[in-house]
Amino acid sequence: MAQEVNHYIATGKDRSKTISGQYGDLSGICLFEDGKFMLYGYATMVFGSYVFEKDYLLFYPDQLPQFQLYACHNPTLGDDVSVNFRGFEEGKTSVQFGDDRIQPVFNDGANCFDFPYIYEQSHPMSQLKFAVQNEGFDADPAYQTFHYQNDERFNDFIAIYNKPQRARANFGAYLYLTEDKKLAISLSNYGGRKGFLRENQVDPTQKRWLEILTMKKEYESAGSIELTE
């Protein structure tokens, strides 16, 4: 099987181009010509890079900071401040607005909130502090804090908490040809033994593939404010 795949796949720098495409439908993985990938599925979208290791592929997901903060000046708010919380319901997270006391973003068992989760106040905010009690897969729980000093006097924020995911652990994969000579991939951590069949042959006119490339471009161009610990 490996020899058959090697015969099918180009060598050298053209290998990534030969295997690029979308593997799977509602869930699976996309391989890009530049050596990047996107793992996707229910509540999962993980980007990263991959390399060839003989007949095997090694995948290295991008590791996101626990907290990300996006901010801007929104003239329609005036002196008001808006903070849009995303993902904070997934962990034991706390926040401090300005010089107020630190408090949980969500109370235990809270179920009366509707998305989007937005906090608003009617005066400028000097700083934001976030805290989380880590519940990592390999580490003991630890309490960490992150701080942003709002010297730019931004008033419109999007705050994101990235809960640790098993999907962001390094993994491997191998490519194989099905009985009808279609290319497929089997991942060590996702999708079971059967793996995923390549759904397209990377036709640049395909609408779905163009949408995937747009998501990749938006991900690579996004930038957030750096927080200090």
Per-residue pLDDT of the chain in tens (229 residues, 90 and over written 9): 444 566 556 565 678 888 999 999 889 999 999 999 999 988 788 999 999 988 789 999 998 888 999 999 999 999 999 999 998 888 889 999 999 999 998 876 655 666 788 999 999 999 999 998 866 555 555 677 889 999 999 999 999 998 887 778 899 999 988 888 888 999 998 877 788 999 865 565 688 888 999 999 999 987 777 777 6
Quick: pLDDT tens for 167-184.
788 999 999 888 888 889
Instruction: Give the per-residue pLDDT at 139.
Output: 52
Instruction: Give the per-residue pLDDT at 111.
Output: 59
Q: Look up residue 146 and give its two tokens.
A: 């992150």
pTM (2 d.p.)? 0.72
* Phi (first) and psi of residue 8, to 5 degrees: -80, -35
DSSP 194-229: T-EEB-----TT-HHHHHHHHHHHHHHH---BPPB-
Q: What sections of 144-206 are H helices per DSSP?
A: none
Instruction: Give the per-residue pLDDT at 10.
Output: 58
Q: What sections of the chain are H helices per DSSP?
A: 2-8, 15-19, 207-221
Nearest Cα neighbor of 187 from 28, 43, 60 is 28
Report the C-alpha gap between 196 and 29 in whole angstroms. Answer: 8
Instruction: Give the per-residue pLDDT at 149.
Output: 94
Letter for the amino acid at 84? Answer: N
Instruction: Give the per-residue pLDDT at 123.
Output: 93
Residue in the structure block whose two tokens are 């009690």: 133
